[in-house]
A and B are shown apart, each in its own frame.
Chain A
Amino acid sequence: MSGPVLEMAGVTRRFRKGGGLLGGKSFAAVDNVSFTLPEEPCVSSIVGESGSGKTTLARMLLRLVKPTEGSIRVLGKPVHGSEGERMSDQEFRRSVQPIFQNPFEAFSSYLPVVDYLRATAKNLEVAKGPKDIDAVVDQALLSVGLSLERIEGKFIRQFSGGELQRISIARALIPKPQLIVADEPVSMVDASLRMSIINIFERIKDEQEISFVYITHDLSTAYYLSDHVSIMNRGRIIESGTPADVLDNPAESYTRDLMDAVPRVTERWPEIEEIKARQQGKEATQVPG
């Protein structure tokens, strides 16, 4: 493998807003975004609040939405375009894998979860024959701390959210992709389990040399995990760099606002202190003696 894993150049996606069949204005959900993931494995985070366009961006990376303008290349080959010119479906699915926010919606409740993992191995021609397929599935599950034996025959409701999210990570690992696009993978997971999943990402990156695009609104996990952070606001990337550059010394006021809004456990927001102090003052004057 040589060259960047992912190149995005001037990617824009417009949607039409209101106005019935013919009228209406268009607005850009993603507006002229360019970035590159280098050859060596890394975690690149895209951080923004709801409506900033980060999920649309993820969906374009996963070939679920076509860009209006610009190009996306994975391993040098175009992701979008007509049948002949773009990367073949099979090759694309082997190179790029998704992890979505809600694992309970990612799997059907009518099939044992493990069927999805076997189907992935089979359809992407990672292994042939039931024995090989089981070996590949087991291997993938082991790297997230589970095993085939533990999940065999179980349905989604028999798993906790954290376990199920680990299973969807295992599923994504089966074809040994170069890139995993994770859209809010831990926002549905409990705080106490969140870090264990984040640590799995990091281990996979190092051990299996897989790059991640980590899409999140959670600055603390982005800071913890990423090699590179991009702040997205109203469809544009307004600031990017290493976590230390961007988050410790934000140049944009928007980034500062984001940082200030994180509920920390070390210092309180001055507004809270102010409201509480104000009311305490009132009480003191109301009860004289």
Chain B
Amino acid sequence: MIEVKDVVLGYGSRAFITAVDGATMSVGHNEIVGIAGESGSGKSTLIRAMYGDFSTGLRMTSGRITATFPGREPVDCHDMRKTWWSDISYVPQGSMSVLNPLMKVHKQLVDGLPKSKRKGSRQAIRRDLESFLAGLDLDPSVLDAYPHQLSGGMRQRVLVAVASYVEPHLILADEPTTALDVVVQKRILLMLVEIQRRLGNSLVFVSHDLGVHYQIADRLIIMYEGKAVEAGPTDEIFANPKHEYTQRLIGSLPKLGTRSSNATSLRRAGS
């Protein structure tokens, strides 16, 4: 589906600041790929380049990213723009800053649709959208709301719905559930998996929460200091992490049900 080869990415024109330093990875058909790593490891930059969004000073100095969508010639990431919202779609992180606060959700959705999806009467499009949202357990009344009338979780679900409505071959999601609480997060994750498996397309998502990766990713890529240091099936990486950073990352997780040793000993002393 998409091949990333020895890619070097960074920002700035005079002083080039490297964010991704020679990353190689690939995404296959019908799979969920999770990209994990800490802030500054280059995971968001990489996913932006995969989306072909070179708008704000992002530059690629070497390597190549090529996407091959079914029934199309391979597309270079610099031409990816032509496939936006038909073959590829994107779920951004901050749902408040991407939805226009002055427009009802419905109008924003229809405006964003590609021409092929805008055929037919307004009512027909509206009916189609409503039934699509209902299929994802979203009330059609969200279409008539302004973004501020929806909760953060609801807005994020609307964005996921929009990204999948065009039935793209590839959905990219940058931290789709960060800053949401666990109950809402679970709903959105289930929604993402449901959509991906229903469409049989590919989903690439970035998260720094390893729990999220364990739950939904089929395959995991670990980024560290701008490089993809480890990749493989999720279960294998969790069972047998090879890279030193991955081991540290998995080792540092607070597992639910574990207590700090200090607190436990205090409690014992107190009781």
**Could you list which residues of chain A lie within 8 angstroms of chain B, going by C-beta atoms?**
49-51, 160-161, 187, 190-195, 198-199, 202, 206, 217-221, 223-227, 242-243, 247-248, 257-266, 268-269, 271-272, 275-276, 278-279
Please tell me which one of the listed residues B184, B193, B248, B253 contacts residue A50 in the complex, with CB atoms under 8 A apart. Answer: B184
Provided the pairs A258-B183, A268-B214, A272-B190 are in contact, do residues A224 and B38 lie with their beta carbons within 8 angstroms? no
Contacting residues, chain A, for B212 (C-beta < 8 A): 263
Are the C-beta atoms of B254 and A198 separated by less than 8 Å? yes
> Which chain A residues lie closer than 8 Å to B180 at the CB level?
50
Please, which residues of chain B bring their CB within 8 A of the CB of A202?
260, 262-263
Say which one of B125-133, B135-143, B162-170, B203-211 lies at the interface with A.
B203-211
> Measured between C-beta atoms, what is the minimum distance from A286 to chain B in Å?
10
Interface of A is mostly: helix
Alpha-carbon separation in the docked complex, A43 to B267 (Å): 12
Q: Chain B contact residues: over half helix, strand or loop, or mixed? A: helix
Tell me, yes or no, whether B249 is within 8 Å of chain A by CB: yes
Is A195 within 8 A of B254, CB to CB?
yes
> Which residue of A has the minimal Cβ distance to B262?
A202
**Interface pair A199/B260, CB less than 8 Å apart:** yes
A50 adjacent to B181 (CB under 8 Å): yes
A105 to B148 alpha-carbon distance, docked (Å): 21
Flag if B209 contacts A191 (CB, 8 Å): yes
The verdict on A192 contacting B38 (CB below 8 Å), with A261-B185, A262-B211 known, is yes
Contact B259 A223 (CB under 8 A): yes
In Å, the complex CA distance between A122 and B29 comes to 62
CB distance from A34 to the nearest CB of B (A): 23
In the complex, how many angstroms separate the beta carbon of B220 from the nearest chain A beta carbon?
A: 11
Establish whether residues A220 and B255, one from each chain, have CB atoms under 8 Å apart when the complex forms: yes
Q: Are A275 and B197 in contact (CB under 8 A)?
A: yes
Structural contact, A248 and B262, CB atoms closer than 8 A: no
In contact, B39 and A217 (Cβ under 8 angstroms): no
Q: Do A262 and B182 contact each other (CB < 8 Å), given the known contacts A193-B38, A202-B263, A224-B259? A: yes
Please measure, in the bound complex, the distance between the C-alpha atom of A194 and the C-alpha atom of B250, giving whole angstroms: 13
B234 CB to closest chain A CB (Å) equals 10
Set B184, B248, B263: member contacting A225, Cβ < 8 A: B263
Given contacts A192-B249, A219-B256, A223-B256, contact A265 B210 (CB under 8 A): yes
Q: Are B182 and A217 in contact (CB under 8 A)?
A: yes
Whether B63 sits at the interface, judged by CB under 8 Å, is no
8 Å CB contact of A219 from B182, B197, B214, B252: B182
- Of the candidates B153, B214, B256, the one having the most CB atoms from chain A within 10 angstroms of its own CB is B256
A261 in contact with B186 (CB, 8 Å): yes
A181 to B103, CA, bound (A): 38
A191 and B258 within 8 A (CB): no
B interface size (C-beta, 8 A): 46
Which residues of the partner chain B approach A192 to less than 8 Å between Cβ atoms?
Answer: 38, 208, 248-249, 252
Question: Which residues of chain A are near B122, meaning CB under 8 Å?
Answer: none
Contact residues of B with A, CB < 8 Å? 38-40, 151-153, 179-186, 189-190, 193-194, 197-198, 200, 208-212, 214-216, 238, 248-250, 252-260, 262-263, 266-267
Q: How far is the CB of A214 from chain B (nearest CB, A)?
A: 12
Least CB distance from A235 to B in Å reads 16
Give the complex CA separation of A267 and B104 in angstroms.
Answer: 40
Q: Give complex CA distance A93, B117 in Å.
A: 59
Are B183 and A224 interface neighbours, CB within 8 A? Answer: no
A218 to nearest B CB, angstroms?
A: 8
Contact check: which of A206, A227, A261 meets B183 at CB < 8 Å? A261
Given known A-B contacts A50-B152, A269-B186, A275-B190, A259 and B260 have beta carbons under 8 A apart = no
In the complex, which of the residues A218, A219, A279 has the most CB atoms of chain B within 10 Å of its own CB atom? A279
A199 to B198, CA, bound (A): 43
Q: B259 to A263, Cβ gap below 8 A?
A: no
Tell me if B250 and A265 are in contact (CB < 8 A): yes
- List, in ascending order, chain B residues with CB within 8 A of A242's CB: 267
A276, B197: Cα distance in complex, Å: 7
If A262-B182, A271-B190 touch, does A190 touch B151 (CB 8 Å cutoff)? no
Beyond A262-B182, A272-B189, list 16 extra A-B contacts (CB 8 Å).
A49-B181, A49-B182, A50-B153, A50-B180, A198-B260, A199-B260, A217-B182, A219-B256, A223-B256, A261-B186, A263-B186, A263-B214, A263-B215, A269-B215, A275-B193, A276-B197
**Minimum distance in angstroms from A166 CB to a CB of chain B:** 15
* Given A50-B181, A263-B182, A265-B214: A190 touches B257 (CB 8 Å cut-off): no
Contacts of B253 in A (CB 8 A): 191, 195, 265
Would B254 and A221 count as touching, CB distance under 8 A? yes
Pairwise interchain contact A224-B260, C-beta atoms closer than 8 A: yes
Least distance between B192 CB and chain A CB atoms (Å) = 10
**Shortest Cβ gap from A37 to chain B (Å):** 15
Q: How far is the CA of A225 from the CA of B263 in the complex (A)?
A: 7
Beyond A49-B181, A271-B190, A275-B193, whether A264 also contacts B208 by CB under 8 A is no
